[in-house]
């Protein structure tokens, strides 16, 4: 911008995951910038400085602005975190796999479907099928298993929503169009869902959260940072597809636009 400043950037996800470490880097950057401007040292690490050679009159203003930013970020660090995804735990085995397909198990399966959705909703049909079938010792979910769960889910007090990305089950009290939550991976292994199991509403909400921090981002950066929110360190094909599906979801609802491979926040 013609002032000779080097910007010290902090990604929002880095701040959420490592606030103390990022705060230390900010404070080190301030000290390095001040010393550099006074001619005490020559900065050598471009990632650890805020300015290169700025006029000394600008230092006071810079320190004030950064101090205010750091103060705000300290408050953010103590704000409630995004909720972690909590899975429904299988506590007992109710019978064999043959019993699962017997009509005598229908009532029990319907009750379990409602219990899983109450704990995990909105949740993909495939995940519900897995949770329920595990009660009958199923090691993997087959098409037959999913079809049985889908058929019985229609006779329960849950909301079935079909999206381009798949079928998802919601609590009756949850409204997909007004849903504004996204759940991140917690400490347990089961809290990190496969990318194809993420409701598009949650992906869109996470994308929007990132965009609110940056206003606009290249698609690749937005996909990467949002994927990290959900606990994915690498954006393979499935993760990339899910994140980009969320971008399309945002665009369709009018909350963002994509132009020349850049996504812009519109609200």
Report the pLDDT value the prediction gives residue 125, as an integer from 0 to 100. 98
pLDDT digits 0-9 by tens, 2-52: 555 667 677 666 666 666 566 666 766 676 666 555 554 444 444 444 333
pLDDT digits 0-9 by tens, 57-107: 444 444 444 444 444 444 333 334 689 999 999 999 999 999 999 999 999
Euclidean distance between CA atoms 185 and 89, whole angstroms: 16
pLDDT digits 0-9 by tens, 172-200: 999 999 999 999 988 887 789 999 999 99
Residue among 127, 111, 124, 131 at smallest CA distance from 160: 124
| Topology given in CATH for the domain delimited by 195-265 | Arc Repressor Mutant, subunit A (1.10.10)
- At 81, give phi and psi (nearest 5°): -80, 165
**Can you say how many angstroms the Cα of residue 24 is from the centroid of all Cα atoms in its chain?**
25
Question: What residue segments make up the domains of the chain, in order of their start?
Answer: 12-77, 97-178, 195-265
Euclidean distance between CA atoms 213 and 12, whole angstroms: 7
Write the burial class of residue 84 (CB in 10 Å: 0-12 exposed, 13-18 middle, 19+ buried).
middle
pTM: 0.70
Q: Give DSSP secondary structure letters for 117-163.
A: HHHH-SEEHHHHHHHHHGGGT-SS--HHHHHHHHHHHTTSSSEEEEE
- Cβ within 8 Å of residue 245, ≥6 positions away: 164, 165, 200, 203
| Topology given in CATH for the domain delimited by 97-178 | Arc Repressor Mutant, subunit A (1.10.10)
Say yes or no: do domains 97-178 and 195-265 share a fold. Answer: yes
The share of the chain scoring above pLDDT 90, in percent, equals 63
Q: Predicted confidence band at 163 (pLDDT cuts at 50, 70, 90)? A: very high
Euclidean distance between CA atoms 103 and 101, whole angstroms: 6
Euclidean distance between CA atoms 214 and 73, whole angstroms: 15
Cα-atom radius of gyration of the chain, to the nearest Å? 24
């Amino acid at each position: 911008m013609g002032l000779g400043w080097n910007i010290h950037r902090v990604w929002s996800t880095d701040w959420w995951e490592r606030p103390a470490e990022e705060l230390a880097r900010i404070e080190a950057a301030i000290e390095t910038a001040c010393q550099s401007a006074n001619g005490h040292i020559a900065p050598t690490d471009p990632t650890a400085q805020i300015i290169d050679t700025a006029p000394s009159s600008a230092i006071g203003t810079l320190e004030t602005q950064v101090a205010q930013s750091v103060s705000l970020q300290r408050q953010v660090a103590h704000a409630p975190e995004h909720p972690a995804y909590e899975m429904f735990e299988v506590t007992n085995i109710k019978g064999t796999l043959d019993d699962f397909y017997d009509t005598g198990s229908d009532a029990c399966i319907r009750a379990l479907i409602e219990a899983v959705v109450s704990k995990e909703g909105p949740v993909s049909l495939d995940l519900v099928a897995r949770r329920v079938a595990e009660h009958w010792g199923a090691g993997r979910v087959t098409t037959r298993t999913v079809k049985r769960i889908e058929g019985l889910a229609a006779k329960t007090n849950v909301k079935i929503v079909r999206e381009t990305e798949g079928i998802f089950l919601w609590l009756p009290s949850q409204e997909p169009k007004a849903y504004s939550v996204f759940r991140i991976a917690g400490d347990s292994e089961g809290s990190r869902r496969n990318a194809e199991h993420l409701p598009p509403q949650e992906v869109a909400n996470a994308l929007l959260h990132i965009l609110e921090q940056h206003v606009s981002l290249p698609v690749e950066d937005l996909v990467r940072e949002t994927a990290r929110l959900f606990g994915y360190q690498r954006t393979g094909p499935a993760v990339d597809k899910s994140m980009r599906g969320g971008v399309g979801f945002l665009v369709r609802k009018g909350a963002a636009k994509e132009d020349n491979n850049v996504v812009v926040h519109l609200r």
